[in-house]
């Protein structure tokens, strides 16, 4: 039976791939992977043909319909097609669309979740998206609508007291900040987290009022996750605790 497996690769660190995802890769005949996928993961599919279908300078940029058709075309001569996507395929990853298209051609499909950057990346920066007495819920919003304009959900999210996580939003950060300011949230803490769980990760912090200047000064680039909410301030608590622990350890060693 021809099969398509949609796998979430997580937020960059190859060790964050699930065991089930790893096993599926090991049996792949073809792997179609995106730009945000760590290429180290391809080592788990030693017998597969690798096809890069992400958007990156110097490579052909595939449209979604072309990727759908590639899946079906490869399934004509191969048993197991793997679609490897960064984060989780069902969180702004269009994974379900690819499954639907494959199913319409009689191809069996399976979805294997991945760690979403909307939760995992803030967590790695010591920012929980929810916290008792600070945030009872969280929004995950894409910054851009299908026509390229700012998503209208940003306006709704800015009216909430929930944590707001914006994916693919760095180019629209100034617009986002302006909307939050108009909703009286100039002092709200903001984090912009670059490169997820990779060694090149770089995190900057500020408020709605100054985050655009901070990002420009530190030359933050995509991919980056934007987090707006009181929970962002908790990373300072963790950092201060760590420094206090280090100081206490040093004093203990000096006493010995």
2, 13, 99, 168: the active-site residue: 168
> CB–CB of 189/207 below 8 Å?
yes
Which residues are CB-neighbours of 115 under 8 A, at least 6 positions away?
8, 10, 11, 16, 87, 88
Buried b (16+ CB within 10 A) or exposed e, 149-186: ebbebbeebbeeebbbbbbbbbebbeebbebbbeeebe
Query: Among this protein's residues, is 34 annotated catalytic?
Result: yes
DSSP 86-111: SB-TTSSS-HHHHHHHHHHTT-EEEE
Q: How far is CA 151 from the centre of its chain?
A: 18
2, 3, 13, 34: the active-site residue: 34
Query: Among this protein's residues, is 168 annotated catalytic?
Result: yes
Tokens, residue 185: 């949230």
Q: Please report where in the chains the tokens 């991945």 appear, as a residue.
A: 114
55, 161, 182, 217: the active-site residue: 55
> CB–CB of 52/59 below 8 Å?
yes
Query: Among this protein's residues, is 55 annotated catalytic?
Result: yes
3-state helix, strand, coil in the chain (%, to 5): 40, 25, 40
Peptide bond into 209 cis (omega under 30): no
Which residues participate in catalysis according to the annotation? 34, 55, 168
């Amino acid at each position: 039976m021809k099969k398509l497996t949609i796998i979430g690769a997580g937020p960059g660190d190859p060790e964050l791939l699930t065991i089930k995802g790893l096993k599926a890769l090991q049996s792949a005949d073809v792997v179609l992977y995106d730009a945000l996928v760590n290429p180290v993961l391809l080592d788990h599919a030693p017998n597969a043909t690798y096809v890069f279908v992400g958007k990156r300078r110097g490579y052909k940029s595939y449209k979604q319909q072309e990727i759908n058709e590639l899946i079906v075309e490869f399934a004509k001569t191969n048993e197991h097609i793997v679609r490897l996507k960064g984060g989780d395929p069902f969180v702004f990853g269009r994974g379900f669309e690819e499954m639907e298209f494959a199913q319409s051609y009689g191809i069996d499909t399976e979805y294997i979740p991945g760690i979403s950057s909307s939760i995992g990346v803030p967590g790695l920066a010591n920012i929980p998206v929810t916290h008792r007495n600070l945030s009872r819920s969280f929004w995950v919003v894409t910054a851009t609508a299908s026509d390229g304009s700012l998503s209208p959900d940003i306006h709704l999210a800015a009216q909430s007291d929930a944590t707001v996580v914006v994916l693919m939003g760095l180019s629209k950060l100034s617009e986002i900040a302006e909307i939050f300011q108009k909703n009286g949230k100039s002092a709200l803490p903001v984090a912009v987290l670059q490169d997820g769980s990779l060694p090149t990760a770089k995190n900057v912090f500020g408020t709605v009022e100054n985050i655009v200047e901070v990002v420009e000064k530190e030359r933050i680039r995509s991919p980056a996750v934007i987090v707006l909410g009181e929970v962002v301030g908790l990373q300072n608590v963790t950092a201060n605790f760590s420094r206090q622990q280090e100081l206490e350890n040093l004093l203990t060693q000096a006493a010995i």
